[in-house]
Amino acid sequence: MTNDSGDNRGSAPGRGLRHPEPPKCSSGRTTAARRSDGAEVVRRMFGQAFLDRTMGGLSQGEGAPAAMAGLALEQCYGDVWTRPGLSPRERSLITLGILIAAGHPDELANHVLGARGNGLTRDELAELALHSVPYVGFPAAGQAMGKILEAWADAEKP
């Protein structure tokens, strides 16, 4: 099954299923500009060492790891995190809340570093975990509290 452009994107070959096309960047910016903007957001939030260790090096390689890092830089950080309407600080709070609710503690720990870079304090992040109790339950909120405190302590080590 092919779409209007004649390729298989948006379909499940052999099954006759159609899936919506992935959203296209409406900003008109080039991939290179989106990647550059995304890298700047990651650098500001997480630091140059994090960028080099995770996204920067991977995105320059080949295969699935490079493609995934490129998508993160271009779409997540280059498109979404650079949109107007919410401050980086607000985006960090929202992202942390989503990660708590979704039960992704390792990614939560990464975004604690980003939240620090966006001006949030340890006490604010602990309050976010406490605030999540009635919505996600004690086990998920408790796990989040532990990850937040652990990631914050790790970030303060020299």
What does the pLDDT look like over 6-39, one tens digit per residue? 544 455 555 566 655 444 555 688 988 998 999 9
Question: d(Cα 101, Cα 86) in Å, to the nearest integer?
Answer: 20
Residue 22 has phi, psi (to 5 degrees) of -65, 150
- pLDDT at 56 > cutoff 80: no
- pLDDT at 3 > cutoff 50: no
Question: d(Cα 37, Cα 73) in Å, to the nearest integer?
Answer: 8
Pairing of strands 11-12, 17-18: antiparallel
Average pLDDT score over residue span 35-48 = 93
Q: In the chain, what are the domain boundaries?
A: 29-80, 88-156
Question: d(Cα 120, Cα 113) in Å, to the nearest integer?
Answer: 10
Q: Give this prediction's pTM.
A: 0.77
Question: d(Cα 2, Cα 21) in Å, to the nearest integer?
Answer: 12
96 SS3 class: helix
List all residues 6 or more positions away from 106 whose beta carbon is below 8 Å from its beta carbon.
Answer: 147
CATH code of domain 88-156: 1.20.1290.10
